[in-house]
Chains A and B, each alone.
Chain A
Amino acid sequence: MPERRTIRTDYLARVEGEGAMTVRLADGRVEHVELRIFEPPRFFEALLRGRSFREPPDITARICGICPVAYQTSAVNALERLCGVEVPGPIRLLRRLLYCGEWIESHALHVYLLHAPDFLGYPGAVELARDAPATVERGLALKKTGNAVMALIGGREIHPVNVRVGGFYRAPTRSELRTLIDPLERAREAALETVRWVSGFDFPEREVECELVALSAPDGYAIEDGRIRSDRGLDVAPAEYDEHFEEEHVERSTALHSRLRERGTYLCGPLARFALNHERLSPLALESAREAGLEAPCRNPFRSIVVRAVELVYACDEALRLIDAYEQPDAPAVPVAPAAGTGHGVSEAPRGLLYHRYRVDADGTIVDAKIVPPTAQNQRAIEDDLRDVVGRNAHLADEQLRDLCELTIRNYDPCISCATHFLDLQVVRR
């Protein structure tokens, strides 16, 4: 009789039947790997149908408590493009600044409270904080600065309410923005220390081979918009997304997996951004990457923590540059009249490419909405990685194997709601 082992995680670790990850082993061979991702986009897509084209920034911000700005930005990009509106420079600047706040907040949370404990042998942030309180305080201070940027521009730290199609409800004054300079300068120092700290961790050898996909823009490290590019020659506009990417139903799974048509698995997020756009980082961020020994392309998912730290430096640096360049616009928004048709919008959420598509009728009612979050785009890559990791470590005891799976998944910073120890291991013998 073969020995079968099943490693499973449950949504919220407490709702039966909503497994977020299952690995089945038979006789030390990987039989099945399945990652079931956070599904609220399906609910929100349904919720958006029949609503006004002005509502997506508010509605989609509720999808994720960590990256509401990403959802808002991809939404306004799609709808403004559809309506033929290009927002003026100061409004674009404010959007990028708001997004920098989200990157700082999200990356600080992931690096300090979620990912670093894995490398240092702690079960979680609480145990790390007991041994290294000053380090965790540094991470929390960084995160708080990101929150402050989001609160000042977005109106609220979680689910910013100030973003609208055409701009903002209110644009901050120059002097209001300048109150962020001191905290951001301190945050930039903390980010540089973060790079030095995480680059000293031990990184298992690992290379992912799939295509790397990220937005690229001519005038900086792409965040709030751009063309979709890859390290294998893809270079398309957001409107061409559906021609090149598809979501497919996978056997024995309820989830949709994204793939590049006729090319297969791809990876988006920090590793892809760094590979494609490292030359557009600020001199300070580039220097910190060099000091950390980070070379592009970096295909080791464990080293994504170093890339996130470098992006923290960049986001602080860029935020300071944007504040310096800001001139308050005459109006916080430009008028937008509804247009019938389909609009496509993209942006770089902290964890990778976020795509929105809206079909709108002539009076501005949404007929159809499609949202592809970064975790859905990365799902195949994560599963491939898990299959490989489990296959090579099947000899490990259940507990160790579960820890290794957790670490592997965490490298990708996915949006999966479940417990910190999110893999419940069950051994099934037949």
Chain B
Amino acid sequence: MSTPRRVVLGVGNADRGDDGAGLAVAARLAGRVPAGVAVVACEQEPTRLLDALAGASSALVVDAVVSGAEPGTLHRFDAGDGPLPVRVFRSSTHALGVGEAVELARALDRLPARTLVLGIEGGAFEAGSGLSAAVRAAVERAADVVLAELEEEPCTSGR
């Protein structure tokens, strides 16, 4: 059984407005990524991230964030540069956020050599409201960013 060497993870909750941004990016990428790249949609419970990251040589994680910027703003975090700003990611009393999941992977020595996190600034999180126009447009840009990152990155050969 071969573990995909590179993974793209779209995280979010499609029923909470802009919180579905990461999932929408994963859906946009279906069938468009190079061979050997696994695209995974992760709904709601981000410690599942840890298993998806295990054994990957690189990971691109996409999630909605709230930092106070204009809705639709893209934020790029390279986990290699230092700890992620955990507070901008969605989390809850009974689940971890993406920032914490990535930091947990780091603490447990499970973080892929290269881990990028793409944050899409959300504006509206009403149940059932769907993506806002600004975030819908950002999803397209984010998908392009992910594809460009995958192009740039040297493909690890072998299995």
Any A CB within 8 A of the CB of B91: yes
* Contact count band on A: 35 or more
B137 within 8 A of A: no
Residues of B close to A414: CB separation below 8 A: 93-94
State the majority secondary structure of interface residues on B.
Answer: loop
Mark each residue of chain A from 133 to 149: 1 if its CB lies under 8 Å from any CB of chain B, else 0.
10011001001100100
Q: Is B78 an interface residue (CB 8 A)?
A: no
Checking A42, A113, A413 against B47 with a beta-carbon cut-off of 8 angstroms, the contacting residue is: A113
Q: Which of B49-101 contact A (CB under 8 A)?
A: 50-51, 66, 86-88, 90-97, 100
Does A47 make an interface contact (CB < 8 A)?
A: yes
Q: Which of the residues A110, A129, A409, A418 comes within 8 Å of B108, measured between beta carbons?
A: A129
Docked pose: A147 CA to B109 CA in angstroms: 22
Q: How far is the CA of A47 from the CA of B94 in the complex (A)?
A: 25
A414 to B93, CA, bound (A): 7
Q: Is the CB of A114 within 8 A of B94?
A: yes
Q: For the complex, what is the distance from the CA of A14 to the CA of B87, rounded to whole Å?
A: 9
In this complex, how many residues of chain B approach chain A with their Cβ under 8 Å: the count is 34
A43 touches B86 (CB 8 A): no
Do residues A143 and B47 form an inter-chain contact, with CB atoms below 8 A? Answer: yes
In the complex, whether A393 has a CB less than 8 A from a CB of chain B is no
- Report how far A420 CA is from B101 CA in the complex, Å: 12
Indicate whether A116 reaches chain B with its CB closer than 8 angstroms. no
Q: Are A419 and B91 closer than 8 Å at their CB atoms? A: yes
Asked if B13 CB lies within 8 Å of chain A CBs, one says yes
A397-418 interface (Cβ within 8 A of B): 409-410, 413-418
Q: Which B residue's beta carbon lies closest to that of A130? A: B107
Answer whether residue A396 sits at the interface, using C-beta atoms and an 8 A cutoff.
Answer: no
How distant is the Cα of A159 from the Cα of B87 in the complex, in angstroms?
Answer: 26
- One digit per residue, 1 when the CB lies within 8 angstroms of any chain B CB and 0 when it does not, for chain A 76-92 equals 00000000000000000
Determine whether the beta carbon of B107 is less than 8 Å from that of A133.
yes
CB neighbours of B140 from chain A (8 A): none
**In the complex, per-residue mask of A33-69: 1 if CB is within 8 Å of any chain B CB, else 0:** 0000001101100010000000000000010111000
Q: B38: which A residues are within 8 A, CB to CB?
A: none
Given that A419-B87, A420-B91 are known contacts, is A39 also in contact with B127, CB under 8 Å in the complex? yes
Q: Would B86 and A40 count as touching, CB distance under 8 A?
A: no
In the bound complex, do residue A126 and residue B128 qualify as a contact, i.e. CB atoms below 8 Å apart?
Answer: no
Q: Take A113-B96, A124-B100, A420-B86 as given contacts and tell me if A158 and B43 are in contact as well, using a CB distance cutoff of 8 Å.
A: yes
Cβ contact within 8 Å between A129 and B13: no
Interface pair B93/A409, CB less than 8 Å apart? yes
Any A CB within 8 A of the CB of B15: yes
Q: Mark B18-48, 1 if CB is under 8 A from A, else 0.
A: 0000000000000000000000001111011
Q: Is A358 an interface residue (CB 8 A)?
A: no
A348 proximal to B (CB < 8 A): no
- With both chains docked as a complex, state the minimum distance between the C-beta of A154 and any C-beta of chain B, in angstroms: 13
Q: Is the CB of B90 within 8 A of A417?
A: yes
Query: What are 29 A-B residue pairs whose CB atoms fall within 8 Å in the complex?
Result: A12-B66, A15-B125, A40-B15, A40-B127, A43-B127, A62-B14, A64-B44, A66-B45, A109-B94, A113-B96, A125-B104, A126-B86, A126-B103, A126-B104, A129-B104, A129-B107, A133-B107, A133-B108, A136-B107, A140-B50, A147-B48, A147-B51, A157-B48, A159-B43, A159-B44, A415-B94, A416-B94, A420-B91, A420-B96
What would 7 more interface pairs be, CB under 8 Å, given A109-B47, A417-B90?
A14-B66, A43-B128, A66-B45, A125-B100, A419-B87, A419-B91, A422-B92
